[in-house]
Structure 1
């Protein structure tokens, strides 16, 4: 079965779920508004510049999860989905997923954003599996720590290779769709790299290398 692999943020949805979760926490006054918003924006700019320290960022983004039970977090996430994520959903992205589904492809999201934020989004999109930066849970609560290799930049290649061995899949004729220069290591690993509403640096590379560049925005 052929793999159709997708980045999530600013690829399948019209925004960044990680940054938006931070904005949601600020809006709901669940964190110190000014301090958290400033840090959230700073990390997001570092991500776009491909200079983000993923370990530092995970420590920041996972810390608020430690304050709530899993049940309370599920309620908060459902509200987050309704208020911020569902408006980011793209009809063309859903159509693209359905196209690959109809072709019999296996749909895999691979995202740097943590598993708490992204797993419900992946379920909403109806993909077969998701690889994300995993958030550690012990004794029924988030610890505020990541676990395993963060799913970011070259870490996406590491995590995908681990997954391929476990699932007995390969990258023969695989597709990978992404908007971000951070995903260049994985784009270079697949036979069919496709830029999606790409940032300036990835757009330039896609043009130079003759990669397909599509838009899923209206």
Structure 2
């Protein structure tokens, strides 16, 4: 999604288990199965990983295998087809999984004149749809290489995870001239401690065990998206 005008502050939202309950890519898997690009075995595997992710948070091994499988599946698929599929998946599945309290919080930031950016390891075509449908400023996400209008099955740039996610956010802050101390970040994962440490207002959402411990030690705000209201 195209970057927009300079603002005084930015709110960064992670997607999986922060803005959306569970993994957004799980809903994409359902769409890929319907399109005949995945097997029943892929679906069963994705369902098990989705259930584990909701209960216990991110798993590095599962993330790596899903990334490799996703790149393989998309090889040769037209970009226009994936854009249509991502829009359909959002309407059918993802929209219902968005935490209402988090969507309201994002709108509250916008109402106060802040830009709201998703920052996620999810593929850009998926993150862009979520940002657009929620009326957000844009999305920083993992890019996929395209040749002659089709995905090549290779990454384009860094996989936005961990330090790479924080680096992408830092580049946006530099480009917009925003003061990090006036900015916000929301995430559930220990891998996003670099992102959360970048801003003056870090908020942990559905934190995994390691992030919860770090948040207690650092005095960071904690938010339960199952309840309406502002961070504690």
**Whole-Å separation in 2 of the counterparts to 1:169 and 1:124:** 25
1:162 correspondence with 2:171: yes
1:97 Cα deviation from its structure 2 partner: 1.1
Q: Secondary structure at the match of 2:151?
A: strand
In the alignment, the residues of structure 2 paired with residue 200 and residue 73 of structure 1 have an alpha-carbon distance, to the nearest angstrom, of: 35
Provide the C-alpha distance between the structure 2 equivalents of 1:3 and 1:202, rounded to a whole number of angstroms. 22
Deviates more, 1:59-68 or 1:111-120: 59-68
Query: Quick check: 52-61 or 85-94, which moved more?
Result: 52-61
Answering whether residue 30 of structure 2 is matched by residue 2 of structure 1, we say no
Structure 2 residue 155 is the aligned partner of structure 1 residue 149 = no
Q: Separation in 1 of the partners of 2:171 and 2:64?
A: 20
Does residue 1:13 correspond to 2:20, yes or no? yes
CA contact (8 A) 2:11 2:116 kept: yes
Moved more, 132-141 or 61-70: 61-70
Describe the superposition over 1:183-214 as per-residue Cα deviations: whole angstroms up to 9, x where unpaired: 11211222111011222221222122221101
The 1:210–1:114 alpha-carbon spacing in structure 2 relative to 1, beyond 3 Å, is: same
Q: TM-score, normalization: structure 2?
A: 0.82
Superposition map of 1:99-118 within 5 A: 99-118=108-127
- Kindly state the Cα deviation for residue 75 of structure 1 after the two structures are TM-superposed: 2.8
> Contact 1:14–1:217 at 8 Å: present in 2 too?
no
The unaligned stretches of length 5 or more in structure 1 are none
Contact 1:43 1:52 in 2 (8 A): no
1:127 corresponds in structure 2 to 136
Count of residues paired in the alignment? 218
Are 1:33 and 2:27 matched, yes or no? no
Kindly tell me: are residues 93 and 43 of structure 1, through their superposed partners in 2, closer, same or farther at Cα, counting changes over 3 Å?
Answer: closer
Q: Is the 8 A contact 2:58 2:189 kept in 1?
A: no
> Counterpart in 2 of 1:75?
84
| Cα distance change, pair 130–57 in 1 and its aligned pair in 2 (3 A) | same
Structure 1 residue aligned with 2:191, among 159, 182, 189? 182
**Separation (CA, whole Å) in 2 of partners of 1:98 and 1:49:** 26
Give the gaps of 5 or more residues in structure 2: 1-7, 228-232
Matched with 2:230 is: none
Moved more, 162-171 or 32-41: 32-41
CA RMSD of aligned residues (A): 2.6
